[in-house]
Amino acid sequence: MRTERRDTAFYGRRKGHPLRAHQANLFEELLPRLRVRPEELKNPAALFPRPITELWLEIGFGGGEHLAHRARENPAVGFIGCEPFVNGMAKLLAAVESDHLDNVRLYDSDAAHVIAGLPDASVSRVFLLYPDPWPKRRHHKRRFVSDEMLTKLARIIKPGGDFWFASDIDHYVGWTLARILRSPDFMWPAANADDWRTPYEGWPGTRYEAKAKREGRTPSYLRFKRVQSATTSLSSSNLARAQTKRMTR
């Protein structure tokens, strides 16, 4: 989903086409039961009706295709999905209802609130898929990926955990890699070009990806690891710099 931020504020519109009657009903009845409150995140496992083995977070889930797919294939994992856009939330609510996904919890405002509320090292995987690239130079500061945000994500991701970033915009891919390389908290363990050209394991595809391909843009699928020590970070950064050179040739 195209996510937008200003520290802890969301940029852009929150609603598109009017909701159908059933979608509106889901907002009234289902969303309040699934909505997380940042002040309740100190014990994420308590959000779910049964024990979970891990916690995964998706930031800006768009139409919810990816989150619903992951929740179906990983019933033991607890998911928190953040999406301020009303129409995208409505689509995921419909999937949660139809597929009886009791391992999904939702937040319909800025993901920064959830990130701030989660405990240290509580999340095993974070997804940021096709975020808004804010292509104009004066808008680059609105991009979700920043040095500050990487520090915040590093706090909640377990050592050895994952941060997955996908984009069809080359400049945003380069922007993200540049900030990962100077972060002491993350490494990019790619070994060859297929590691960023090949979709993630179990990838269901999304409507944003399909649009990018129709318009002739090639997506990149980046997988970053939360490092466990400064030494690991230093060696992995050297490796990642070499990989970046190969990627941009």
* Res 189: pLDDT: 95
The residues with which 226 forms a beta bridge, in sequence order, are 186
Q: Determine the straight-line distance between the first and last CA of the chain, rounded to whole angstroms.
A: 29
Domains of the chain: 21-248 (3.40.50.150)
How far is residue 189's CA from residue 238's CA, in Å, rounded to a whole number? 11
- What share of the chain has pLDDT > 70, as a percent? 85
Q: Is 170 in the active site?
A: no
* Res 19: pLDDT: 81
How far is residue 134's CA from residue 141's CA, in Å, rounded to a whole number? 8
Q: Is the pLDDT of residue 2 over 60?
A: no
How far is residue 201's CA from residue 67's CA, in Å, rounded to a whole number? 14
| Stretch 214-218: mean pLDDT | 95
The amino acid at residue 50 is R
Global confidence as pTM: 0.86
* Res 150: pLDDT: 98
Task: Please identify which of the residues 108, 110, 132, 162 carries the catalytic annotation.
Answer: 132
- What share of the chain has pLDDT > 90, as a percent? 78
